Amino acid sequence: MQKRQFHRSLLRYDDNFIRHHGGKPYRDYRGFRVNVGKGATKDDGYRDCYIDILDKLINHIQAEQGRFRTVFIGRFDIVFSDNRPQFDDNDYPHFISDDHLEIADHQAMLTPFLNNVKKYLSKKTSNSRNRFRNHNQVKIGWAREYGSDKGWHYHCYICLDGDRVNNWDPLNKDGLFGIMDRIWETASGVHYRPLHIHSDNNRKQYKNRWIVSRDKRGKAQLQHAIYALSYLAKKRSKRTSNTTIKHLSTHSIPKLTTPTSEQVNQEKWRNEVLSA
């Protein structure tokens, strides 16, 4: 079976196209501000973004706008408590099978987590006021990355009906974030590390949730959301030396079985991973 390849075009950093908003650099793409980052140099890979990932993100959010009067978007990260031995990016091509094995291990935890989040939120109840039940549409997107400090990790976001859910406070154990964290704890077991969101320490505000409506204020929120989520499209940490690893999904992670050590080198299992 031929390996599936992922060919990507880049929205590159270019001084001729860079603008600034609120002191932060950005590039225009499809009418939205895109985060080109603050890399040490223009060529460090942080400032460039993959166009196919940007398109998927924008298309996904716009599709949700067509479903709901207002859209709730919450972003979170998943980092695992333990990783296989870390390798320098320059050595990466020699350890492709190890990366695929680790990804399969992680997906064995991520698949039930995503499925159970959707199952929890979509469960039908007689209490119509329960904000965390009776959801007809639950969409989760994720981007997979690799860092020398974190190993493989995932940047994720969830989209829901914004008329029903608007709280993303990690300190509220009974809120949406707290519910999802408990589901993740069950799915990850001994590998559990709390779900993570970033905060603006200067203003003491959590900036990883947006309510996107169809009015003027909603358009501004949409701009903020696309700018923040475009971080998921950055070139850096995407492990570009291996073009057979899928880096982003706007639906759910496919279920993969964790192979035995004897199966790792078998072509049948290898093709199953590469074609996922």
Whether 75 has a pLDDT exceeding 80, the answer reads yes
Q: Is the pTM of this model over 0.85?
A: no
Calculate mean pLDDT across residues 68-93: 69
Give the tokens for residue 223. 């701009």
Considering only 63-77, 106-120, 163-177, 248-262, which range has the smallest mean pLDDT? 248-262
How far apart, in whole angstroms, are the C-alpha atoms of residue 162 and residue 63? 14
Express each pLDDT in 115-145 by its tens digit: 999 999 999 999 888 899 999 989 999 988 8
How high is the pLDDT of residue 13? Answer: 67
Of 174-183, 190-199, 215-224, the least confident: 190-199
pLDDT above 70: percentage of residues in the chain: 67
pLDDT-based confidence at residue 40 (cuts at 50, 70, 90): low
What's the chain's average pLDDT?
75
- Which of these ranges, 10-14, 134-138, 212-216, has the smallest mean pLDDT? 10-14
Q: Which residue is it, tokens 């979170």?
A: 76
User: So what's the pLDDT on residue 236?
Assistant: 77
